[in-house]
Homo-oligomer: A and B are copies of this chain.
Amino acid sequence: MDSVIDFWFDFSSPYSYIANEWVDAVAARHGRTVRRHAILLGATFQAADLKPPVAYPLKREYVLRDFARSARFEGLPYQPPAQFPIPTQNAARVFWWLQDTQGAAAAADWARAGLRAMFTRGVPLHESAALKALAVEQGLDADAAEAAWNDPEVKARLKRANDEAIAAGVFGAPFFRVDGEPFWGNDRKAQIERWLASGPF
């Protein structure tokens, strides 16, 4: 059996931030490894003819409240971003650049740093200066990071990740696949943990 937990996320997704803080520990507890996929929810929404929850006024009001409450529920810090949602393609491209040049651990570190910056410190990941500063904080070469997010090959890499996500049935984030079973949402963590502990149910 494939020991990988596939984990799709968007740097602009608060529920992805919460789930990202959990997924490595649960994988380790059950002898699994995490395969992260940075994607753009905009692409998967479009493919599935969906809009984000914050596109609907009533639902927006609820989910903004639920983002913060769900973080508190897990004991995680959370600060609502001043602007939300934001375009996160450059952050995602840095993820894939790191994945392909330095490996999964470096990309995972970037994912964690980016999501935490976005949702606990109000760092505007869509602004080049902020993203370069974050790269420096992470010990990366900021100019190389900027060159990466402007590199057509890295852009194509993200595009391919989006296409692969869509082909895998991903229509939201976080989205997980374990032993072929799809789980959508931070609120499926308990089901995933049951699956990992005792198999299909």
Contact partner of A187 (CB less than 8 A), chosen from B47, B65, B188, B194, is: B188
- A62 and B184 in contact (CB under 8 A), knowing A56-B49, A56-B50, A72-B201? yes
- Interface residue tally for chain A (C-beta within 8 Å): 27
Interface secondary structure of A, over-half rule: helix
- A169 and B61 in contact (CB under 8 A), knowing A48-B56, A185-B187, A191-B73? yes
Q: Are B201 and A171 in contact (CB under 8 A)?
A: no
- Does residue A112 face the partner (Cβ distance < 8 Å to B)? no
Contacts of A120 in B (CB 8 A): none
What is the minimal beta-carbon distance from A151 to any residue of chain B, in angstroms? 31
- A→B interface (CB under 8 Å): 47-50, 56-59, 61-62, 65-66, 69-70, 72-73, 169, 171, 182, 184-185, 187-188, 190-191, 194, 201
